[in-house]
């Protein structure tokens, strides 16, 4: 199965990297850019017979390895066989 996972900072966590990108955009002349927040995306291929099993494994993997649950949210955006 092929999964797409988004990991983003929680809404109330500051994102200095995003802020830096917004400032860089402005200095390049793109004043229209009001805010930028950066996150990570993972394309994961995994062997799983059932969708439910794959979702459970991906959830554990996000909690343990891909995201820091204290400051980040994760979403399994898509899961295709």
Which has the closest alpha carbon to 1: 62, 76, 81?
Answer: 81
* Binding status of residue 70 toward a copy of itself by CB under 8 A: no
Q: Which two tokens stand for residue 41?
A: 């995306």
Among 14, 51, 60, 78, binds a copy of itself (CB under 8 A): 60
- CA 54 – CA 39 distance, rounded (Å): 23
Indicate the DSSP class of residue 18.
Answer: H
> Binders of a copy of itself among 18-57, rule CB under 8 A?
18, 21, 24-25, 28, 30, 32-48, 57
Q: Which residues bind a copy of itself (CB under 8 A)?
A: 6, 8, 18, 21, 24-25, 28, 30, 32-48, 57, 60-61, 64-66
């Amino acid at each position: 199965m092929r999964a797409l996972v988004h990991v983003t900072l929680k809404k109330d966590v500051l994102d200095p990297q995003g802020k830096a990108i917004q400032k860089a955009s402005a200095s390049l002349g793109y004043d229209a850019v009001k805010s930028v927040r950066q996150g990570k995306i993972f394309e994961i291929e995994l062997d799983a017979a059932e969708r439910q099993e794959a979702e459970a494994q991906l959830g554990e993997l996000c909690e343990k390895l891909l995201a820091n649950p204290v400051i980040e949210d994760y979403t399994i955006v898509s899961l295709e066989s």
